[in-house]
């Protein structure tokens, strides 16, 4: 587990770098004035950065054996996770009020659903250290899509998430480590993406009706 906790730290640090690069022109590069940046954007960024910081702190504390503090900080996630979901909703609302973009709304649904699913599974398995740790790191994966999608291309972000899960799955399997969380993550990603494609591309009237019911 020590190597795995170290992996969590490096993965989250890499995700922070990707996020900064992806949102440099529209957010981080605007520091310190942040002209025309709403409080909603600040709130959304702040909650996500807090999540990244919590993941790093939790992994470091678990690695050093300070489980008592690890659990105390973990309880903060009961407040932070709902705030992140609220941030997703506020950002989606702000974006759709500016310009109609059902495809972007679909991407937000995918990211938010993955976050809620992986965090929920982490809490459900909180007494199973191996599963809990794996689901917690998986909770950070949905944030790859926004950053990498803007830094390179949206066509790259989702395959990148899939390949990361696949790499984690194969590594765990061949090293005879618990791999079920990664298997669940891969199936969930494919299923959720399939649903979004169905309601957005195959049957666009579905997401159109959802959009109209909220912002029409």
pLDDT, one tens digit per residue, over 163-199 is 999 999 999 999 899 999 999 999 999 999 999 999 9
* Predicted model pTM: 0.92
Nearest to 172 by CA among 192, 186, 158: 186
What three-state secondary structure class fits 56?
helix
CB atoms within 10 A of CB 216: 9
Q: What is the pLDDT of residues 110-160, one digit of tens each?
A: 999 999 999 999 999 999 988 998 999 899 999 999 999 889 988 898 899
CB neighbour list of residue 213: distance below 8 Å, 6 or more residues apart: none
Of the pLDDT bands very low, low, confident and very high (cuts 50, 70, 90), residue 2 is low
- 4 pLDDT exceeds 80? no
φ and ψ at 128, to 5 degrees? Answer: -105, 95
Q: What domain range includes position 169? A: 2-215
pLDDT for 129 equals 87
Longest dimension (CA), the chain: 53
Please report the pLDDT score of residue 133 as a whole number. 87
- Give the total number of structural domains in the chain: 1
């Amino acid at each position: 587990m020590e190597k795995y906790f170290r992996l969590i730290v490096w993965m989250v640090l890499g995700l922070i770098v990707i996020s900064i690069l992806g949102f440099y022109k529209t957010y981080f590069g605007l520091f310190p004035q942040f002209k025309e940046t709403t409080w909603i954007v600040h709130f959304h960024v702040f909650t996500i950065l807090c999540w990244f910081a919590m993941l790093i702190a939790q992994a470091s504390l678990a690695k050093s054996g300070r489980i008592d503090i690890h659990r105390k900080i973990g309880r903060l996630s009961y407040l932070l996770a709902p705030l992140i979901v609220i941030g997703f909703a506020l950002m989606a609302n702000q974006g759709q009020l500016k310009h109609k973009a059902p495809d972007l709304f679909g991407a937000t649904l995918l990211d938010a659903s993955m976050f809620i699913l992986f965090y929920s599974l982490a809490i459900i398995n909180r007494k199973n250290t191996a599963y809990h740790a794996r689901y917690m790191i998986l909770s950070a994966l949905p944030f790859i899509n926004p950053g990498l999608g803007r830094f390179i291309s949206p066509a790259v972000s989702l395959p990148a998430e899939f390949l990361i899960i696949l790499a984690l799955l194969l590594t765990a399997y061949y090293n005879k480590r618990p791999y079920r969380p990664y298997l669940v993550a891969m199936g969930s990603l494919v299923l959720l993406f399939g649903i979004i494609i169905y309601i957005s591309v195959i049957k666009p009237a579905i997401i159109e009706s959802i959009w109209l019911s909220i912002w029409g």
